[in-house]
Amino acid sequence: MKHAIVFGGTGMLAGATKWLMKSTNHISVIGRNKHRLEQLYPDHDNSDLRLVTLDYKDNEALSHFLRQTIQTYGPVNLVVSWIHNVAPDAIPIILEEMNHYQKDQWRFVHIKGSSHDLSSIQAQITVSKNCLYRDVQLGFKIEENVSRWLTHEEISKGVISAIHHDKKNTVVGTLQPWRKRP
């Protein structure tokens, strides 16, 4: 891959983000907390890595960032997004800006957490023809009849597998039975 953008890559997705850093020519990692970005990647002297502090709840700032990034670094091959529902306009803005400025085919890996509503986790979104939508649904694990949430490592491995194998739908852990989630 030549150019990737990762939203929400500093926490539970840190392992997947580090894997992507090795697999792309240019990557922008977007985080809302500058300290967490710098703490996670303290030796980011690589010019192919951009650590961008951006509150993706700020619709205008998000649009501006996407336009500027495509103009500066060229077409985007991959967008990995774990944006929580505190920013309901962020994903529609990402899709709109990418569709407007992106002529080449690209992949959108949409990561959805499992702590709230099963129907929202399983919901698909409509994308343009040049966007390959990839859905990663994060569930939970049941071990010896006791459930637990996924670890950071399990989440990152699941996301890496989804990207590497270009899977349309990936469930990390299990979503059933939903009533057994922690």
pLDDT tens digit sequence for 28-39: 989 888 888 877
State the Cα–Cα distance between residues 68 and 60, nearest whole angstrom: 12
Q: 3-137 adopts what CATH topology? A: Rossmann fold (3.40.50)
- Residue 112 is predicted with a pLDDT of 92
**Stronger pLDDT, 41 or 122, i.e. the higher one:** 122
| 152 closest CA partner among 3, 18, 6, 5 | 18
pLDDT band of residue 46 (cuts 50, 70, 90) is low
